[in-house]
Amino acid sequence: MGELDLSKKVADRYLKREVLGEGTYGVVYKAIDTETGQTVAIKKIRLGKQKEGVNFTALREIKLLKELKYSHIIELIDAFPHKGNLHLVFEFMETDLEAVIRDRNIFLSPGDIKSFLQMTLKGLAFCHKKWVLHRDMKPNNLLIGSNGQLKLADFGLARIFGSPDRRFTHQVFARWYRAPELLFGTKQYGSGVDVWAAACIFAELLLRRPFLQGSSDIDQLGKIFAALGTPSPSQWPDMVYLPDYVEYQYVPTPPLRSLFPIASDDALDLLSKMFTYDPKVRISAQQALEHRYFTSAPLPTDPDKLPRPAPKREPKASDFDSHEGPTVLSPPRKSRRVIPGRDGFEGNSLQRDKVDDNVGNSRQTAGDTAGKNDPAPMSLDFSVFGLKAPNRPTINSADRSHLKRKLDLDF
């Protein structure tokens, strides 16, 4: 069978239904797998706009994601190219955590919050153990199935397809979950970035609104320091050496209790450990799972007894309120331009974000650990597996047959 025929045959296996939404990388469709009768979600990734198309490394990384099977990770069932797009087939999920948090008709008990956080951390701990980072943790990437099981979605895609473009409103929201080391432009980061984001999600479950809603990267750091206190160099010695470090006005650390009046002592203790500034000292996902919060009463709610949300809608900027943070005092080495109206929700914020670009281009390094005793998980950099990335042919390049041959083998 010709390669194009094969690609068509795979594509024909899935019967497309309605559009589920437009995501960071393209449209997501609901579809039926005609071979199994299973409902699936197909993410169609536009390759036309990619400068270099999807290279071999990306395809191999996708293959690795296919092997990342766990009850709290969304399953990548299939991946195939079709008509210049890459199609990723995932198990279909009913809703997501953002819809749960946003639904005012839902009451979240302390046991419910514990259950959602536990499933999130289980998914993270599994992937970090396999040396994979998520890098785009946010409530709408935590999908929930009909049995209440929460699963991490979009694992590793930021790494494979480059950092999401900030053009879309939903990407602006992603800033709210970004760790301070990323906001200060670190090139070397570890699983701690996912733990920080999980802490923001934990806080959001407690507050029922996003915790730290910065309108720019500088404002995001300001919001973090206003809420959790400005870190001192002794608390986070590497901070002052980060590429985009700027000194912020000193704000003493307020008691977390003042921000989360209804949370238990155990919840606040875990939250403060997840919100540790120095990524080398920050608790790991596995250590967080072993925290007494998960074994003290009330126990985590059984997933099938968790509340279900009403049908979800797209978030609007007006849904959220913001609060002021401390101001930047002086840029010791390097100044960062803040253009009023450029970031956040004012204007159409079409600019790409600098920190995001840094993140997209950076590689995970083995030396950057999240928890002190953890092996350092790496993003899917194939040097780790001893594989050499070949030249970078693209799906759109003249060398289609070569690539197709490779795809036939891989998928």
> Residue 340: CB partners within 8 Å, gap ≥ 6?
346
Strand partners, 248: 328
Q: Which stretch binds ligand ADP (CB under 6 A): 91-99, 193-201, 350-358, 402-410?
A: 91-99
User: Should residue 20 be labelled a site residue for ligand ADP when binding is judged by CB under 6 A?
Assistant: yes
User: Should residue 186 be labelled a site residue for ligand ADP when binding is judged by CB under 6 A?
Assistant: no
Answer yes or no: is 28 a known binding residue.
Answer: yes
Pick between residue 69 and residue 257 the one whose CB is nearest to ligand ADP: 69
Q: What's the rounded Cα separation, in Å, for the pair 275 and 29? A: 36
How many Å separate Cα 125 from the centre of its chain? 14
Catalogue the active-site residues: 136
Pick between residue 46 and residue 405 the one whose CB is nearest to ligand ADP: 46
The site for ligand ADP, by CB under 6 A, has a size of 18
Cα dist from 131 to 6, 45, 79, 197, whole Å = 33, 24, 22, 17
Q: What's the rounded Cα separation, in Å, for the pair 335 and 245? A: 9
User: Should residue 140 be labelled a site residue for ligand ADP when binding is judged by CB under 6 A?
Assistant: yes
> Residue 2: CB partners within 8 Å, gap ≥ 6?
none
Q: Which of 9, 15, 21, 109 binds ligand ADP (CB under 6 A)?
A: 21
User: Should residue 154 be labelled a site residue for ligand ADP when binding is judged by CB under 6 A?
Assistant: yes
Q: Which of 10, 41, 54, 179 binds ligand ADP (CB under 6 A)?
A: 41
Q: Which two tokens stand for residue 306?
A: 């968790």
CB atoms inside a 10 Å sphere around CB 88? 24
Output DSSP code: residue 51.
S
User: Should residue 90 be labelled a site residue for ligand ADP when binding is judged by CB under 6 A?
Assistant: yes
Closest CA relative to residue 268, chosen from 326, 203, 194: 203
User: Should residue 153 be labelled a site residue for ligand ADP when binding is judged by CB under 6 A?
Assistant: yes
Output DSSP code: residue 175.
G
Q: Which of 7, 10, 23, 223 binds ligand ADP (CB under 6 A)?
A: 23
Report the amino acid identity of residue 300: P
Pick between residue 151 and residue 273 the one whose CB is nearest to ligand ADP: 151
CA dihedral 196, 199, 200, 201 (to 10 degrees): 120
Report the amino acid identity of residue 262: I
Q: Could you report how far apart the first and last alpha carbons of the chain are, in Å?
A: 16
Pattern 209-248, ligand ADP, x by CB under 6 A: ----------------------------------------
Pattern 267-306, ligand ADP, x by CB under 6 A: ----------------------------------------
- Detail the residues annotated as belonging to a binding site for ATP: 20-28, 43-44
What does the binding site for ligand ADP look like in residue numbers (CB under 6 A)?
20-21, 23-24, 28, 41, 43, 74, 90, 92-93, 96, 140-141, 143, 153-154, 170
Binding site members: 20-28, 43-44
